[in-house]
Structure 1
Amino acid sequence: MSSSQPDKLRPTRRSELIAFLVLAFGVWPFIAVGVVGGFGFLVWMSQIVLGPPGPPTGLH
């Protein structure tokens, strides 16, 4: 055998396409929403603790 993998274990074009579709439309959207939502939550919590953004008040 010249191949390093047996023919049964080699990925086919169909299985690669299915894996791509599952990642592109199943996994990555949830990861993207989680990252954006996590960043929004971090900003929200920091504003609760540190106050809203803007110039400091009462310095006149």
Structure 2
Amino acid sequence: MEQGPGQEVQATRNQERIAFLLVTVVVFPLLAILIVAGYGFLVWMWQLLFAGPPTGP
């Protein structure tokens, strides 16, 4: 049984839908967490090695 052009388009749409859900549910949240954690780590290391703890006025 051969697939027609309509079935190929449907398969491509399903693959795009799955890829979109993967990116929006897994990749972007994970990337956001890693960026925030990385920035926090950089600030922590900067204070530990160079600037010292934050002080008040």
Q: Which runs of 5+ in 2 are unaligned?
A: none
Q: Which runs of 5+ in 1 are unaligned?
A: 1-6, 56-60
Corresponding residue of 1:47: 47
Q: TM-score, normalised by structure 2?
A: 0.66
* Identity over aligned pairs, percent: 47
Larger helix percent: 2
User: 1:52: how far off?
Assistant: 2.7
Deviations 1:4-50 (A, max 9, x none): xxx55xx6211101100001101121111111100100001101112
Corresponding residue of 2:23: 23
Q: TM-score, normalised by structure 1?
A: 0.63
Corresponding residue of 1:3: none
- Paired residue total: 48
Larger Cα-atom Rg:
1
